[in-house]
């Protein structure tokens, strides 16, 4: 069965430091992968997505993610974190069968220290 795991429930980084949020997926074929960000009390905003092609994907707000098939991972990175990046981050994989459904990870809460 398809699944998404975000091993880190909570991460704290200092402002200006680099960031990596982990995401592992279980999927039989080439997955459609997504990262979303959610600020408190808000909906989800799409940061980036991977469908095919270049395995390093650039997104909005200076984020990037790298698809590594051998590791079944799609980790999100940012070289220098800003205080406004504090939020909840969700990794998701598109479900099989062209239903358009997404399977979400449990989410990672990012806290940014001044």
Partner 1 sequence: GAVVSQHPSRVICKSGTSVKIECRSLDFQATTMFWYRQFPKKSLMLMATSNEGSKATYEQGVEKDKFLINHASLTLSTLTVTSAHPEDSSFYICSARVGSETQYFGPGTRLLVL
Contacting partner 1 (CB under 8 A), which of 80, 106, 111, 113? 106
Nearer to partner 1, 32 or 72 (CB): 32
- CA dist., res. 56 & res. 72, Å (int): 14
Going by C-alpha positions, the residue among 112, 114, 104 that lies closest to residue 6 is: 104
Nearer to partner 1, 55 or 106 (CB): 106
59 binds partner 1, rule: CB under 8 A: no
Contacting partner 1 (CB under 8 A), which of 8, 24, 49, 73? 49
Nearer to partner 1, 18 or 106 (CB): 106
Q: How far is the CB of 6 from partner 1 (least distance, A)?
A: 9
- Collect all residues with Cβ–Cβ distance below 8 Å to 6 and sequence separation of at least 6: 21, 22, 23, 24, 89, 90, 91, 105, 106, 107, 108
CA angle 25, 38, 2 (to 5 degrees): 20
Nearer to partner 1, 15 or 22 (CB): 22
Report how far apart, in Å, the C-alpha atoms of 36 and of each of 25, 28, 60 are: 15, 22, 11
111 binds partner 1, rule: CB under 8 A: no
Binding site for partner 1 (CB under 8 A): 32, 34, 36, 41-46, 49, 51, 90, 94, 98-102, 104-107, 109
């Amino acid at each position: 069965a398809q699944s998404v795991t975000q091993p880190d429930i909570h991460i704290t980084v200092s402002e200006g430091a680099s960031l990596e949020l982990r995401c592992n997926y279980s999927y039989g074929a080439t997955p459609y992968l997504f990262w979303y960000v959610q600020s408190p009390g808000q909906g989800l905003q799409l940061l980036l997505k991977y469908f095919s092609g270049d395995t390093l994907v650039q997104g909005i707000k200076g984020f990037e993610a790298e698809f590594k098939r051998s590791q079944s991972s799609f980790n999100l990175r940012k070289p220098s974190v800003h205080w406004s990046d504090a939020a909840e981050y969700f990794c998701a994989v598109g479900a099989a069968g062209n239903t358009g459904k997404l399977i979400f990870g449990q989410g990672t809460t990012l806290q940014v220290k001044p």
